[in-house]
Amino acid sequence: MRHLLTLLEFAPHEVEDLLRISRDFKTRFLAGEVYTPLFPGRVLLLYFEKHSTRTRLSLTAAAAQLGMQTVYTTPNELQLARGETVADTMRVVSRYAAAVAARVYKHETLDEMARHSSIPVINALSDRHHPLQALADALTLWERSGRLHNLKVAFVGDVSNNVATSLAIIGAKLGWEVRLVGPKQLWNQKLVDELAEDLAKTGARIYFTDSINDVAGVDGVYTDVWVSMGFEKEAEERRKMLRPYQVNSRVMDIAGKKAVFLHCLPAHRGEEVTDDVIDGPQSAVWDQAENRMHTAKAVLAYLLKMR
């Protein structure tokens, strides 16, 4: 039994497998095979402590296409709100559901859920990681560039956040050069150390830089909101610190014509990205959002088939 909490628990060849399965699901879906009932009668629990549009809906659609039912809940509706422990909740949920996808404030909640679960736990975003997003990002870059390996990607802005971290992790698995472009105060050098084994294995290169000129020559320029959910107290400070890192036409010019623009969404237009870039010819953001559904199917198929 496996969980998907950070992507660190998957070997490079397993990440590739997940992406190939995703691509296969997408090809079949576009050819008209919407329904692939691999798990009829099984239930996917969606446990969400924070807002979501894409993750909630892509998992719901993915489950439906695999013949599964979903149950959506927030902590308030469960006995968790009245003091039942995460451990007891997971012991019970494991008897009903085939998998749980959880969006939590603290990553430690996912670790606790996984420790007491006998079904796969899928990270639907935590304060530190967003692995489902990284899979859709890699699929999108693969489609756009024709390559899965040896890509160069620059993440610009809040380089400390969940989306940046998961992009660096998937880049390490796939042998990419990931440039994390943002202010020094937000650099998480520990991440590079954690990835050392994968970097040695795949030849990937992950580094932090505060120079916006380092977007030059990349295959993808990626950004995300400056204030992630749960970090609202730091909003003002972050906006000030990150203003020089807005992705606008000047930044895309430095990156060059072959670079696609990526954003996990939701976007704060006018802050981390300008309208002309997100709506412009280099933008791949709607494909990225679409790909969330196909990568979600691959994750469910992979984790549930293994059981």
DSSP 203: -
**Helix residue ranges per DSSP H, the chain:** 12-30, 54-65, 86-96, 107-115, 131-145, 162-174, 189-194, 196-202, 235-242, 249-255, 275-278, 285-305
Among 151, 145, 109, smallest CA distance to 129 is for 109
Q: How far is the CB of 158 from ligand NVA (least distance, A)?
A: 7
CB 242 within 8 A of CB 164: no
- Establish whether 54 is an annotated binding residue: yes
Whole-angstrom Cα Rg for the chain: 19
Site for ligand NVA contains 229 (CB under 6 A): yes
Q: Which of 117, 123, 202, 228 touches ligand NVA by CB under 6 A?
A: 228
Site for ligand NVA contains 163 (CB under 6 A): yes
List C-alpha distances in Å: 240 to 84, 123, 223, 235. Answer: 41, 30, 16, 9
Q: Which does 42 bind (CB under 5 to 8 A by kind): ligand CP, ligand NVA, none?
A: none
Q: Mark residues 29-68: x for contact with ligand NVA by CB under 6 A, - for none.
A: ----------------------------------------
Nearer to ligand NVA, 126 or 202 (CB): 126
- In the set 3, 23, 144, 292, the catalytic residue is 292
Q: How far apart are the C-alpha atoms of 264 and 276, rounded to whole Å?
A: 17
Which range binds ligand NVA by CB under 6 A, 39-47, 98-106, 158-166, 270-278? 158-166
Q: Which of 167, 255, 264, 300 touches ligand NVA by CB under 6 A?
A: 264
Q: How far apart are the C-alpha atoms of 221 and 81, rounded to whole Å?
A: 41
Is 130 known to be catalytic? Answer: yes
Nearer to ligand NVA, 198 or 224 (CB): 224
Q: How far apart are the C-alpha atoms of 83 and 80, rounded to whole Å?
A: 5
- Establish whether 274 is an annotated binding residue: no
Site for ligand NVA contains 162 (CB under 6 A): yes
Q: How far apart are the C-alpha atoms of 283 and 33, rounded to whole Å?
A: 28
Is 292 known to be catalytic? Answer: yes
Which range binds ligand NVA by CB under 6 A, 24-32, 63-71, 155-163, 209-217? 155-163
- In the set 3, 42, 103, 129, the catalytic residue is 103
CB 43 within 8 A of CB 98: yes
The residues of the shown chain that bind ligand CP, judged by CB under 6 A, are 52-55, 125, 133, 264-266
- In the set 127, 158, 198, 224, the catalytic residue is 224
**Helix residue ranges per DSSP H, 97-195:** 107-115, 131-145, 162-174, 189-194
- Establish whether 91 is an annotated binding residue: no
Q: How far apart are the C-alpha atoms of 100 and 49, rounded to whole Å?
A: 13
- Which residues are part of the catalytic machinery? 103, 130, 133, 224, 264, 292
Q: Which residues bind ligand NVA (CB under 6 A)?
A: 125, 161-163, 224-225, 228-229, 264
